[in-house]
Structure 1
Amino acid sequence: MSLHTQLQQRAAKGKPIRVGLIGAGKFGSMYLAQIPRTPGVHLVGIADLSPDAARANLARVGWKAEQTQAASLDQALKSGATHVGEDWQALVRHPAIDVIVECTGHPIAAVDHCLEAFTHGKHVVNVTVEADAFCGPLLARKAAEAGVIYSLAFGDQPALICDLVDWARTCGFPVVAAGRGHKWLPHFSESTPETVWGYYGLTPEQAQRGGLNPKMFNSFLDGSKPSIESTAVANATGLGVPSNGLLYPPASVEDIPFVTRPIIEGGVLERKGMVEVISSLETNGRKIPYDIRMGVWVTVEAETEYIKNCFEEYNAHTDPTGRYFTLYKRWHLIGLEVGMSVASVALRGEATGVATCWNADVVATAKRDLAPGDVLDGEGGYTVWGKLLPAEKSSRMGGLPLGLAHSVKVIRPVKKGQSLSWADVAMDTTTHAYKIRKQMEAMFAAAPEKTTLPVLA
């Protein structure tokens, strides 16, 4: 039975999926825009550090003021309205709520929210993929131990890529490569919130109109977000990671199956079965026609002459040999699609992407020379960007996860372009985020020959 049909049945029975949202910024607002148009879903409460800003965003996406006037979560449940407040703990602890959508974009806080939700029997759709990138495998395990589902968010590119990989494998195709698109030139890794809009292709006025956060969007541009999302995909699918970071080969949609082949066959991959990101710009800055900048893709291989012939007979989009085929979605709609995850988790008990191993990591890398006393400002800031590395390599070097490089003081000189280690900074070791990361590292070190973390039934 389709998810939509099940949602309609829940609506008819008066038993909607009860949702709590933490964080009502840009991504959360996009989800909020769809909830009134989705049957069988009741947004019981929103927790945001600024309830007034959350209400303003609700009005921006078309909610009427009376829909958010519930004085408490209990009143919201009785009236069918939504409570807006600051108390995220009350939200995740309320026994009537089924699913928490973590939408803050703050990785350290997101870990707290996820762990507390698991403790209180709540499924979690984690939009904050920055947290998944540095401890997703262990978050998934802790969710399973609590008997709940932890999931990446549909609409964001990692879950969409996981969906394509699952399609390929379920059909019997070996996955050669999978990933997303990006607007990339090497110097973008040095971008700051002051330079982002010019590189990104928006005017400051457009950014202000959309309520866009320059630091967040700079994390998209400077390579941090592509590395974070590629990490989530590698850890969810078991795909491999380039040994020294993403290559960003430039390619049109037509050329993706050509470049996403192994090097020995004329492509860019070190081997088959890897994540990669396709650039929408040539190395000279020229925009590539019909690019995949906002989309996702998977390249598969015809292992027999018969399958190759089928590709040819049905005009499949292949490389010149006819063996490699790329399926793609040229767009993703971000928060407008999160309802797929909420419904899948609540109705089918299935995640739309979840970490099953520790293959990949994102290591904080200096944008400029850093001196003792400098304070790191995390994703999209002025000090560091995120570099994708194999987890084994990151673990061996003691790499500092980008998701934990927030408000952290540098204690040793670090050269521009150098990846930071734990020894380069003074960490706050009291946070749940730090502790779960170190716990995950210890588990990996105990069994380096097998990175897969068992999920308990």
Structure 2
Amino acid sequence: MSLIQQLKARAADHKPVRVAIIGAGKFGSMYLSQVPRTPGIHLVAVIDLSPDRAKASLARVGWSEAQYSAKSLAEASKTGATFITDDAQAVIASDHIDMVIDSTGSPAAGVHHALLCCEYRKHIIMVNVEADVLAGPLLARRAAQAGIIYSMASGDQPALIAELVDWARTIGLEVVCAGKGTKYLPIYHQSTPETVWGHYGFSEEQVAGGDFNAQMFNSFLDGTKSALEMAAVANGCDLLPPSDGLLFPPCGVDDLPHILRPVSDGGILAQKGTVEVVSSIERDGRPVFRDLRWGVYAVFEAPSPYVMDCFAQYGLKTDSTGRYAAMYKPYHLIGLELGISVASIALRGEATGATGDWRGDVVATAKRALKAGETLDGEGGFTVYGKVIPAADSLRLGGLPIGLAHHMVLKRDMAAGQVVSWNDVDFDTSKQVVKVRREMEDMFRREWKL
């Protein structure tokens, strides 16, 4: 049966998939708008540091107060209503929950919630790419040991890219490059929460009327979110990032197989099997023809002359040699698509993108010249942006992960564009998230004999 047929069967048997979501921000709100329309799913709990904010999100997406009137998890489970709380641990530990969605965006919170899910054996959908890139390869191993599924979130670009990569490899094609589109200019690496709306072209009225967070949106613009997402793809698809960060070449969908092929064949890639993000604008600001700003892609190579002929016969756009071609999805609907992950895990026992080996890492990089004594303010802030590099290189550099570059004080001056290392900052070794990250580094250092 299809997913929707299985969900309808669960609804008819009064055995819904019981879900809790942590974080009622933009991504969470998009899922909240859809879950009441999905048979066989019961959103038992919404967890947010501010229950009032969660209620406001529910109201904004069309929920009635009666739908979130439950006073406890037990009442929610019995009545079909939803319980709102700020106590994530109590919900994860509850017998009334099968699956947890972390959409907090906080690396420390995401790591903590994932470890709780391992302890209480609850499947987890990690919308929180910040936490996944910070410690996902270790968390995925812990989840496997606990017998639970640790999954990317369908609708978010890493999961959709992983789907394309899996499709290509499953039919016997070698993936040369995979990634997504975005709006990028080199100057964006210096963007701050004060300049972000001008770069996006949003009016004051638009910003005031929606759930817009300046630092979060700036993390997309300054390259950090792209770096995080490509590290997640690298780790989930056995691909490598470029050695010195993403190139962000301007590229439309028709040029994907021409530009994203190896240098030896006339493209820009140092090697096959990498990740890259393409820009929807040329370096002079002109729009790219048939851009992929909202979409994802995978470039693959024909393994034989016969397959090259098939590409041509069925109208596939290729490079000039006919060897390289691309498949793409022009849009992604982020939280609106999250129900695919919920259903896939509950009904098929399959993740929608699964973190594996540690291939890519995102290191904090100075946006401007920084002085000793300055406090780093993390992704999307005023001080650093995230650069994706191979994980082995990050280990050799002692790179400070962008997910931990919050509230750390610099011990020395940093030049603009310089990677920040653990040795450049003071940090609290007693924090759980720091311990987990350092444990992962030590684990791979031993495995790789570095």
Pairing of 1:398-417 with structure 2 (within 5 A): 398-417=398-417
Pairing of 1:231-246 with structure 2 (within 5 A): 231-246=231-246
Alignment-mate amino acid for residue 409 of structure 2: K
Structure 2 Cα separation of the partners of residues 156 and 217 of structure 1: 15
Pairing of 1:132-171 with structure 2 (within 5 A): 132-171=132-171
Instruction: Give deviations 1:227-282, integer Å, cap 9, x for gaps.
Output: 00000000111111111110111111111111010011111100111100011111
Instruction: Give deviations 1:132-177, integer Å, cap 9, x for gaps.
Output: 1111100100101111000111111000000000000001100010
Instruction: Give deviations 1:397-449, integer Å, cap 9, x for gaps.
Output: 10000001111111211111101000111112122211111111111111216
Pairing of 1:249-260 with structure 2 (within 5 A): 249-260=249-260
Q: Which residue of 1 aligns with 2:359?
A: 359
Structure 1 Cα separation of the partners of residues 335 and 187 of structure 2: 29
Q: Which residue of 2 aligns with 1:395?
A: 395
Q: Which residue of 2 aligns with 1:455?
A: none
Moved more, 25-34 or 411-420: 411-420
Structure 2 Cα separation of the partners of residues 61 and 91 of structure 1: 23
Q: Which residue of 1 aligns with 2:336?
A: 336
Pairing of 1:379-394 with structure 2 (within 5 A): 379-394=379-394
Structure 2 Cα separation of the partners of residues 5 and 321 of structure 1: 44
Structure 1 Cα separation of the partners of residues 429 and 152 of structure 2: 26
Alignment-mate amino acid for residue 403 of structure 1: G
Q: Which residue of 1 aligns with 2:66?
A: 66
Instruction: Give deviations 1:287-317, integer Å, cap 9, x for gaps.
Output: 1121001100001111111000001111112
Structure 2 Cα separation of the partners of residues 233 and 432 of structure 1: 25
| Structure 2: gaps of 5 or more residues | none
Structure 1 Cα separation of the partners of residues 357 and 201 of structure 2: 36
Count of matched residue positions in the alignment of Structure 1 and Structure 2: 450
SS at the partner of 1:428?
coil
Alignment-mate amino acid for residue 208 of structure 1: A
Instruction: Give deviations 1:333-372, integer Å, cap 9, x for gaps.
Output: 0100111111111111111112110111000001112222
Structure 2 Cα separation of the partners of residues 302 and 160 of structure 1: 22
Structure 2 Cα separation of the partners of residues 265 and 276 of structure 1: 17
When normalised by structure 1's length, the TM-score is 0.97
Give the percent of matched residue pairs that are identical in Structure 1 and Structure 2.
55
Is 1:31 equivalent to 2:31 in the alignment? yes
Alignment-mate amino acid for residue 170 of structure 2: T
SS at the partner of 1:331?
coil
2:377–2:383 contact (8 Å) kept in structure 1: yes
Structure 2 Cα separation of the partners of residues 431 and 151 of structure 1: 25
Shift in Å at residue 375 of structure 1? 1.1
Q: Which residue of 2 aligns with 1:275?
A: 275
Q: Which residue of 2 aligns with 1:306?
A: 306
Structure 2 Cα separation of the partners of residues 352 and 204 of structure 1: 37
Pairing of 1:32-111 with structure 2 (within 5 A): 32-111=32-111
Is 1:20 equivalent to 2:20 in the alignment? yes
Shift in Å at residue 201 of structure 1? 2.7
Pairing of 1:117-136 with structure 2 (within 5 A): 117-136=117-136
Instruction: Give deviations 1:95-127, integer Å, cap 9, x for gaps.
Output: 120000001111111111111111001000011
Moved more, 198-207 or 312-321: 198-207
Structure 1 Cα separation of the partners of residues 124 and 325 of structure 2: 34
Pairing of 1:184-333 with structure 2 (within 5 A): 184-333=184-333
SS at the partner of 2:438?
helix
SS at the partner of 2:448?
coil
Structure 1 runs of 4+ with >4 Å offset:
none
Structure 2 Cα separation of the partners of residues 224 and 430 of structure 1: 26
Structure 2 Cα separation of the partners of residues 118 and 13 of structure 1: 28
2:300–2:325 contact (8 Å) kept in structure 1: yes
Q: Which residue of 2 aligns with 1:371?
A: 371
Shift in Å at residue 204 of structure 1? 2.8
SS at the partner of 1:39?
coil
Instruction: Give deviations 1:55-107, integer Å, cap 9, x for gaps.
Output: 01101101011111101111101110000111111111101200000011111
SS at the partner of 1:132?
helix
Alignment-mate amino acid for residue 432 of structure 1: Q
Structure 2 Cα separation of the partners of residues 300 and 269 of structure 1: 13
Structure 1 Cα separation of the partners of residues 124 and 381 of structure 2: 28
SS at the partner of 2:151?
strand
Instruction: Give deviations 1:25-80, integer Å, cap 9, x for gaps.
Output: 11100000000111100000111111111101101101011111101111101110
Alignment-mate amino acid for residue 103 of structure 1: S
Structure 2 Cα separation of the partners of residues 410 and 280 of structure 1: 35
Alpha-carbon RMSD: 1.0
Structure 1 Cα separation of the partners of residues 104 and 447 of structure 2: 33
| Structure 1: gaps of 5 or more residues | 451-457
SS at the partner of 1:227?
helix
SS at the partner of 1:447?
helix
When normalised by structure 2's length, the TM-score is 0.99
Structure 1 Cα separation of the partners of residues 110 and 141 of structure 2: 16
SS at the partner of 1:407?
strand
Structure 2 Cα separation of the partners of residues 287 and 428 of structure 1: 45
Shift in Å at residue 208 of structure 1? 2.3
Structure 1 Cα separation of the partners of residues 209 and 339 of structure 2: 25
2:73–2:96 contact (8 Å) kept in structure 1: no
